[in-house]
Amino acid sequence: MREYLKELRCNRNLTQQNIANELGVSLSYYNSIEKGNRQKNMELLMANRLSKVLQVPVDFIITEEEKLAQKSA
């Protein structure tokens, strides 16, 4: 589970549907990203798009993804 995405989304009063719409993906696809079932090794393009939608530096997304990778290793 990508708790950091959920926390960022909730702090901005956005729904998963809001994020999905901004990313141009389906709600189920974004839900799977947040749960960690999709984009397991998040692509740089998706990290960049998420950083824009969630208004955080792309470095933040990358750092959080690195933390998740270390936990699962």
- pLDDT at res. 72: 81
pLDDT tens digit sequence for 2-24: 999 999 999 999 999 999 999 99
- pLDDT at res. 2: 96
Q: Which superfamily, per CATH, for 3-72?
A: lambda repressor-like DNA-binding domains (1.10.260.40)
pLDDT grade for 70, boundaries at 50, 70 and 90? very high
Task: Measure the CA angle with vertex 69, ends 63 and 71; round to 5°.
Answer: 105
CA distance 31 to 6: 10
pLDDT cut 70: percent of the chain above it: 100
For the entire predicted model, the pTM comes to: 0.91
The mean predicted confidence, pLDDT, of the chain is 96
Residue at 26: amino acid letter: S
